[in-house]
A and B are shown apart, each in its own frame.
Chain A
Amino acid sequence: MSKKILIADDEQNIVISIEFLLRREGFEVLIAGDGEEALAKVRAEKPDLVLLDVMMPKMNGFDVCQAMRADPELSATRILMLTAKGRDTEVSKGLGLGADGYMTKPFSTKELLAEVRKLLEM
């Protein structure tokens, strides 16, 4: 059974590439354009991994992460945060709130893939 990954990012241009890449690697891919939609889809679809952008409309990545970690049903879902800021303080905040990994834009797609695989223990 293929793993299910949710991409939560309001930036269409990055979603295009990540979606293409992950589908090609055989993952089932879901897309969310803002924080609220992301949280709803996480609850409904129970993906194995969420690629979570920090800066999103309606609800930011930190809040989504926090909400997910507050929900015991979602404890199995891994979270990989993507950020365009890359400050150390932000990284530690994300990890502190329960994210499993952190990547700063711009990142290499190969590294992203490697990180995804690592988190999904593949």
Chain B
Amino acid sequence: MPAPRKLLLAAAFGCLFVLAVVLATATVMRLTEGDAGGGWSPGGRIFLLLLLTLAGCALSYRLIALLYARYVNAPLRMAEDLAAMTAHSGLRLPEAASEELRALALAANHLLASRDALESDVAERVREARASLEEERSRLAALMADLSQSVVVCNLDGRVLLYNQRAKRELSEGPDGSNAELLGLGRSIYRVFDRALIEHALERLQPAAGDLAGAADDGRKAIGSAQFVTATRAGRLLRAHMSPVLGSDGQAGVRVGNLAVSGFVLVLDDVTQTNERHARRDELIQSLIEGGRGPLGSLRAAAEMLSDFADIAPRQRDRFLGVIRDEASALSAQFEKAAAAFSNDLRERWLLEEILGVELLAVAARRIGEQRSGEQRRLVVKTENVDESLWLRVDSFGLLQALRYLAWRLQDEYEVRDVRLSLQRSGHLAQLDLYWVGTFMNNEVAMSWLQDSMSVDGESSPLSVVDVVERCNGEVWFQRERVSHRAFFRTMLSAAEAPKELPSAIIPASDGERPEFYDFDIFRWSAGSHELDDRPLAELSYTVFDTETTGLQPSAGDEIIQIGATRIVNRRLLRHECFDQLVDPRRPLSQESVKVHGITRDLLAGQPVIAVVLPTFHAFCADTVMVGHNAAFDMRFLQLKERQSGVCFDHPVLDTLLLSAVLHPNQSTHRLEAIAERLGVSVFGRHTALGDAMVTGEVFLKMLPLLAEMGITTLRQAREASERTYHARLKY
């Protein structure tokens, strides 16, 4: 019904009502007035009028209440519903009773629907953007994993934001060659390299800018890079190439040209071997030149005496001859020694690559067995007696060409149908044979084949087989075995060492989790705010740790037998940056403790002692807050060893047991399992130090938001709250 008609109707009702009341009153008055004597008493008339008024009031209240519910209460209810719906998407207003409100609800629902659509659109866009970012990251990770160089990206504080596997392998080694986990996300690069060295390199980016600053206003071309050679803590020699990471906004820090530098990339090459080789070569040249001068001087002088003076007394002559004999043999010996020691280093390094012998032979067999143009039959090739562990250092392309050339020429000129390839170790050399049975061939022909430039089926090379083999620092010859009627071309090559670990695949990030090798968020860390106490808990780095011990009484001689730790950086548990070390306690293990941790005497034999392990662990904990469950217990063990190990664990410490007591003061138990269950952390690998440390870390991460809800957001607040709890009254 349209609103104006409703209004008219209401007005009409109102009028009728008033009219009815007036009429009723008039009628009553008239009836009760009547004739004298038969009329009502005045009191009766008043009573009747009052009755009528009350009835009228009741009727109008009922009417107004009805209208109130319909036109005042319903909109208010709808307003409440709407308020609730703004907080959650997907909800709609229910069907309203009145027509007007139905219209309003419809409009509001339209609004809600379009908001939901917008929301899901934004969410979709965010998801897409994240996916493409993730993809880019994976690509970058794959690229970095494949690099044969180490790559480390740092912010200007020297905090590591990104690194590849190779960098981790090469830079994490401690001075004693053990894995000290020196490199890690959020860790300082200055633990690996000297601070002054990096700062100097950063400074050197500057002049490169100065050269061009005048010419290039945008400064883009003005970015230089710096190089330096340095040694790692483990004594490896690295050549580092540094280039700046540019920040777009006006961050404080180093400026190169017009651009702010927010960090730097280090690309590192291990030049230890190259340098050693160069050093050895230099040494050889030095020893030959300088070591030869003395003996040659004596030789020459003696020889000149003998030739210049005819009248030398026989005794004197014998002395000169003695000098010549001595010095000549000394020189020969020196040459032999040099030749033996340096022969490999002196040969020219033609582009030789390390290749697994089996692989080379497989490719050779395939290529020799290929269908040839104008030839009916394929040559049959078999490989026999192949030493699968043998690595070769060869020009594989040339060598493959040589083998095919020889085999096909055998087929062409001697109608050989099948050939065999074998590869065996012979001392420190590798013996590669191409052999066949039967067909006679003389030495001269074979020799000429080896010397001819290789050309087969239109493919020709200016090189001969001998050239190629010489390039590989090898020798090749032809030989026959009369008894077995076998003939073969034998190539002796130097065997190579198996190359060091090839770059392994990047550890994939599990669903929804970023790979732990990155953390670009650290870029935002401020430089000066290292006063830990007032830093937000969420910003701090933590070392979550646990120990296994021979018993429960450190002061009664119980010792640590295992330390496990992992790190939390930017609220992420870094599962790949772990410290996991067994320790020889130098005392027997009790049966009860073995039942707890399962570590037996045998496992501990040969492990380092605590005085060796603690400095490394101390370095692992650098710049972090230590977190443990019932940390007081572990800290006591660590602190008792301070004198022995020479390191002092004076880090800030947080205890998940105490924090649990802060969060849930009414719970009867604060055992790690119980807390984990309360917070929804799945427990695995318990009672290994590292397993417990991981669980503790997960628990700690779950606690952070709960603590924040209680207003505990800084390290100072967390520590003070811990101290206030009942458990904290127990002495550390």
Q: Give A contacts to B, CB under 8 Å.
A: 11, 13-14, 16-18, 20-21, 24, 82-86, 104-110
- Report yes or no: B293 in contact with A84, Cβ–Cβ below 8 A: yes
- Report yes or no: A17 in contact with B293, Cβ–Cβ below 8 A: no
Using Cβ atoms and an 8 Å threshold, which residues of chain B touch A13? Answer: 295, 298, 302, 323, 326-327
What is the CB-to-nearest-CB distance from B307 to chain A, in angstroms, rounded to a whole number? 10
Using Cβ atoms and an 8 Å threshold, which residues of chain A touch B323? Answer: 13, 16-17
- Report yes or no: B294 in contact with A84, Cβ–Cβ below 8 A: yes
> Contact residue range for chain B?
20 to 34
- Report yes or no: B308 in contact with A84, Cβ–Cβ below 8 A: no
Provide the bound-state CA to CA distance between A24 and B305, in Å: 11
Given A13-B302, A18-B301, 14 more pairs with CB closer than 8 A: A13-B327, A14-B301, A20-B320, A84-B291, A84-B297, A105-B293, A105-B294, A106-B297, A106-B300, A106-B301, A108-B304, A109-B304, A109-B308, A110-B304
Using Cβ atoms and an 8 Å threshold, which residues of chain B touch A107? Answer: 297, 300-301
Task: Please give me the 6 A-B residue pairs with the lowest Cβ-Cβ distance, nearest first.
Answer: A105-B297, A17-B301, A13-B298, A84-B293, A106-B296, A106-B297
Residue B526 at the A interface, CB < 8 A? Answer: no
If A17-B323, A106-B300, A109-B308 touch, whether A84 touches B290 (CB-CB below 8 Å) is: yes
Q: Which residue in B301, B309, B327 is a CB contact (below 8 Å) of A24?
A: B309
Residue B299 at the A interface, CB < 8 A? Answer: yes
What is the CB-to-nearest-CB distance from A106 to chain B, in angstroms, rounded to a whole number? 4
Residue B319 at the A interface, CB < 8 A? Answer: yes
Residue B316 at the A interface, CB < 8 A? Answer: yes
Using Cβ atoms and an 8 Å threshold, which residues of chain A touch B309? Answer: 24
Against A, the Cβ 8 Å flags (1 = close, 0 = not) of B278-300 are: 00000000000111011111111
- Report yes or no: A17 in contact with B298, Cβ–Cβ below 8 A: yes
Provide the bound-state CA to CA distance between A110 and B307, in Å: 12
**Chain B residue nearest to A109 in the complex (CB):** B304
Using Cβ atoms and an 8 Å threshold, which residues of chain B touch A20? Answer: 305, 316, 320
- Report yes or no: A106 in contact with B302, Cβ–Cβ below 8 A: no
**Chain B residue nearest to A112 in the complex (CB):** B301
Q: Point out which of A20, A24, A110 has the most chain B C-beta atoms below 10 A from its C-beta.
A: A20
**Chain B residue nearest to A107 in the complex (CB):** B297
Using Cβ atoms and an 8 Å threshold, which residues of chain A touch B305? Answer: 17, 20-21, 109
What is the CB-to-nearest-CB distance from A91 to chain B, in angstroms, rounded to a whole number? 13
If A20-B316, A84-B294, A85-B293 touch, whether A106 touches B308 (CB-CB below 8 Å) is: no
What is the CB-to-nearest-CB distance from A79 to chain B, in angstroms, rounded to a whole number? 18
**Chain B residue nearest to A20 in the complex (CB):** B305
**Chain A residue nearest to B326 in the complex (CB):** A13
Using Cβ atoms and an 8 Å threshold, which residues of chain A touch B296? Answer: 105-106
Provide the bound-state CA to CA distance between A11 and B289, in Å: 17
- Report yes or no: A14 in contact with B298, Cβ–Cβ below 8 A: yes
Q: Which residue in A17, A84, A86, A108 is a CB contact (below 8 Å) of B302?
A: A17
- Report yes or no: A11 in contact with B300, Cβ–Cβ below 8 A: no
Q: Give B contacts to A, CB under 8 Å.
A: 289-291, 293-302, 304-305, 308-309, 316, 319-320, 323, 326-327
Q: Point out which of A84, A85, A104, A107 has the most chain B C-beta atoms below 10 A from its C-beta.
A: A84
Provide the bound-state CA to CA distance between A17 and B302, in Å: 5
Provide the bound-state CA to CA distance between A109 and B297, in Å: 9
If A14-B294, A85-B293 touch, whether A106 touches B299 (CB-CB below 8 Å) is: yes
What is the CB-to-nearest-CB distance from B494 to chain A, in angstroms, rounded to a whole number? 33
If A24-B309, A109-B308 touch, whether A16 touches B293 (CB-CB below 8 Å) is: no
**Chain A residue nearest to B316 in the complex (CB):** A20
- Report yes or no: A108 in contact with B294, Cβ–Cβ below 8 A: no
Q: Which residue in B290, B298, B304 is a CB contact (below 8 Å) of A86?
A: B290
**Chain A residue nearest to B319 in the complex (CB):** A16
**Chain A residue nearest to B305 in the complex (CB):** A17
Q: Which residue in A17, A86, A110 is a CB contact (below 8 Å) of B320?
A: A17
Provide the bound-state CA to CA distance between A20 and B304, in Å: 11
Using Cβ atoms and an 8 Å threshold, which residues of chain B touch A24? Answer: 309
Using Cβ atoms and an 8 Å threshold, which residues of chain A touch B316? Answer: 20
- Report yes or no: B293 in contact with A86, Cβ–Cβ below 8 A: yes
- Report yes or no: B301 in contact with A104, Cβ–Cβ below 8 A: no
Q: Which residue in A16, A21, A86, A108 is a CB contact (below 8 Å) of B300?
A: A108
Using Cβ atoms and an 8 Å threshold, which residues of chain B touch A14? Answer: 294, 297-298, 301
- Report yes or no: A106 in contact with B319, Cβ–Cβ below 8 A: no
Provide the bound-state CA to CA distance between A108 and B300, in Å: 7
- Report yes or no: A104 in contact with B300, Cβ–Cβ below 8 A: no
Using Cβ atoms and an 8 Å threshold, which residues of chain B touch A16? Answer: 302, 319-320, 323
Provide the bound-state CA to CA distance between A82 and B298, in Å: 12
Provide the bound-state CA to CA distance between A16 and B297, in Å: 12
Provide the bound-state CA to CA distance between A39 and B12, in Å: 143
What is the CB-to-nearest-CB distance from B172 to chain A, in angstroms, rounded to a whole number? 41
Using Cβ atoms and an 8 Å threshold, which residues of chain B touch A85? Answer: 290, 293
Using Cβ atoms and an 8 Å threshold, which residues of chain B touch A11? Answer: 294, 298
Q: Which residue in B289, B301, B319, B326 is a CB contact (below 8 Å) of A109?
A: B301
Using Cβ atoms and an 8 Å threshold, which residues of chain A touch B320? Answer: 16-17, 20
If A13-B298, A17-B320 touch, whether A106 touches B326 (CB-CB below 8 Å) is: no
Provide the bound-state CA to CA distance between A105 and B298, in Å: 8
**Chain B residue nearest to A90 in the complex (CB):** B290
The 21 listed contacts between A and B (C-beta, < 8 Å) are A11-B298, A13-B295, A13-B327, A14-B294, A14-B297, A14-B301, A16-B323, A17-B304, A17-B323, A18-B301, A21-B301, A82-B297, A86-B289, A104-B293, A105-B294, A106-B293, A106-B297, A106-B300, A108-B300, A109-B300, A109-B308
Provide the bound-state CA to CA distance between A20 and B298, in Å: 13
Using Cβ atoms and an 8 Å threshold, which residues of chain B touch A86? Answer: 289-290, 293
What is the CB-to-nearest-CB distance from A100 to chain B, in angstroms, rounded to a whole number? 20
Using Cβ atoms and an 8 Å threshold, which residues of chain A touch B327? Answer: 13
**Chain B residue nearest to A13 in the complex (CB):** B298
Using Cβ atoms and an 8 Å threshold, which residues of chain B touch A18? Answer: 301
Q: Point out which of B295, B298, B300, B308 has the most chain A C-beta atoms below 10 A from its C-beta.
A: B298
Using Cβ atoms and an 8 Å threshold, which residues of chain A touch B302? Answer: 13, 16-17
Using Cβ atoms and an 8 Å threshold, which residues of chain A touch B290? Answer: 84-86
**Chain A residue nearest to B294 in the complex (CB):** A84
Using Cβ atoms and an 8 Å threshold, which residues of chain A touch B298? Answer: 11, 13-14, 17, 106
**Chain B residue nearest to A105 in the complex (CB):** B297
What is the CB-to-nearest-CB distance from B362 to chain A, in angstroms, rounded to a whole number? 52
Q: Point out which of A16, A17, A21, A109 has the most chain B C-beta atoms below 10 A from its C-beta.
A: A17
Q: Point out which of A13, A14, A82 has the most chain B C-beta atoms below 10 A from its C-beta.
A: A13
What is the CB-to-nearest-CB distance from B690 to chain A, in angstroms, rounded to a whole number? 57
Using Cβ atoms and an 8 Å threshold, which residues of chain B touch A110? Answer: 304
Provide the bound-state CA to CA distance between A86 and B292, in Å: 11
**Chain B residue nearest to A15 in the complex (CB):** B298
Provide the bound-state CA to CA distance between A14 and B290, in Å: 16
What is the CB-to-nearest-CB distance from B291 to chain A, in angstroms, rounded to a whole number? 8
